[in-house]
Structure 1
Amino acid sequence: MLRRDPHLPKKEDDAGESAPLSTSLTTAAAASHSSPMPYRRRCQFLVSDASFRHRHRFLLLFVLAAIIALYFILVPADFILSNISNNVKSDHPPILYGHVHMAKTGGTSLNGIIANKFDHVCGHKGYSYDAYNDNEKAKARNGAVVLSGGSVWSRSRVNPRIMSDIGYENCDYISNELDWSFWKQFGNGKFHGVNMELHVPCRDRIEHLMSMCNYEEHGKVGENGLPTKHKIACDAKTDEELFNSVKKCFLYLNRYDHSLLELFDVKCFSFHNQFTNYIDHMSAILSHRRFESTPYVKRETNDVRNKEEECIWYNPGVREKVDKFLLDTIPYYQFCDSCMGSENEIAT
């Protein structure tokens, strides 16, 4: 038999009598659902629920830590590091670029301008990281030509030993004036697995020869008290005498050798277009510096030539003979002769 819950209050109808039993049961059920949980039981429930969540979270953290530890134990460290480095965003081009700075081809100014315009340029005649201040100082000194050369090292003429100590790991474009063997360390992807493309400047052979002849002999002074210049023996009695006078003008032609063709993709560019077309070409490859010091102050190493004193321009026979001698005997001129006008010439 159903009994009324003694805890429920009596409910009387309009006549004052007790409510029917069924009504009492319904009311009790509703009250059991609507009445709040006793305070003590509610506290016990919350404590037990928080404890469960805490244990659950601890278990998840433990499992995650175990998975990470297992990953580092089973996966080689080199693989992990390589994947991390591969996912790091880089603004470096996929290959390195090298400027074979042949003497008397405008390379001093080219190196300086490129270092002033672009990042990650490492050159004997200037680095990107301090090119701005270096050019600002040059402007403040005289606002015109600054001579370089001799035995004095500066930010515009970096000691090769210092360059080697710094290293080339953060370079995209390297310019150097050492003999060709310097580049072997970068050949065939030896340098951290990154290939390099070499760029060689080319100019007219006779013009180049006479520019080398115009380069003063350090420490030698003529009767007029000025540094001596080499001259071509246009009046030589024999070819041997003529060619010996030519050889005296040579300056560091060993910076290029055909052996480079076995180690690199070697391209050429025109001496006359290097400050326009060539820089435009590199502008599409190298990352630009945030600030550029303008105008660039050229660093000259030669006095202005006096072509009227160069006898070779008045002797076509001598000029032809000397030109053939240069092409037959000097690898650098042979390379330029075959490269210029070919698909390997950089021309935009």
Structure 2
Amino acid sequence: MDSFFLMGAKPLVQDSPTMKLHELLDWVEISHKLKGLYKREISNGGGPEPYAPLAMFKLMLLGQWHGLSDTQLEHALKVRLDFMVFTGFEPGDDSFPDATTICRFRNRLVTAKLDQVLLRRVNVQLEGQGLKVAGSRGAIIDATIIESAARPNQHIEVDEDGQADVVDSADDEARWVKKGKDAFFGYRGYSAVDTEDGYVEHVEVHSANQAEVNKLPGIVEALAAQGVQPEGVLADKGYASAANREYLKNKVIGDLIQFKGSRGNPVHPLQTQMNRAIATLRYKVEQGFGTMKRKFHLSRARYFGAAKTQAQMAWAALGVNLLKAMRKLQSGRLQPCAGSSPS
């Protein structure tokens, strides 16, 4: 039950974008997935009571969605009513987590590999409300560059045995990649979205120098593991290979990968028409990347390492999906199902 403070504050912020996003989900169901993050929950040992995992998760989402550092987030929580109501924190002695606590909680989520689990649970809730199409459909797959949080600073490190190694940066998992005339240092973030509304189904992050063409089977397998069985896969020429086409054929999944010509073997006019038809659908994944980068601050990684960058991308994807659902409601196209309000 809300405290007197939160009951009084809610009417003041109920029309804010933050609270509109909050009202879409059953957060109690999400909280069940966060159990076990603290050893104290399992051992029932002594020590100070940890902050509620759900409140910390909500706070971490706010930091991602508003592009705030942990220090900025700590300060914003103390002065913004919508942040307090969204998370459930309120003024009081030692009631607000500091920047270090927020960072440690994020690391717990990454270690527990909950990014994909929570993204899937949110999608299931949206499907239950009729805001997202459930069942088999097409999947659009693509990748985008996410620049490293560290600036490249190549130097030589020598280990205890006297072996020298060239290190590009403090972010030792980031790598260089060239796209067109430009070079980037960081990661490739992969996304699979549905062909209906462009909801993000799955994300994963790898070093930027790893070839896109080899990632398609793994992404399709990850979708299947989450209960998403695409009837067809759409992708650009970067995924065109005999191995990928054979893989989709063996899985009885429609092959909608664009065709790529080669020297002395140009693309057939019919294949060119097919490429154009696929391109008219692929905009949905590009649109998702644009929203993640423009609104949810994914252009550059905020942390070091592929695992933390993948978690950052998952929270941005979660924001994209909630935004799509909220806009669908606001357009009057759908109404939330009875009983779908958060507890």
Relative to the length of structure 1, the TM-score reads: 0.22
Q: Which has the higher strand share?
A: 2
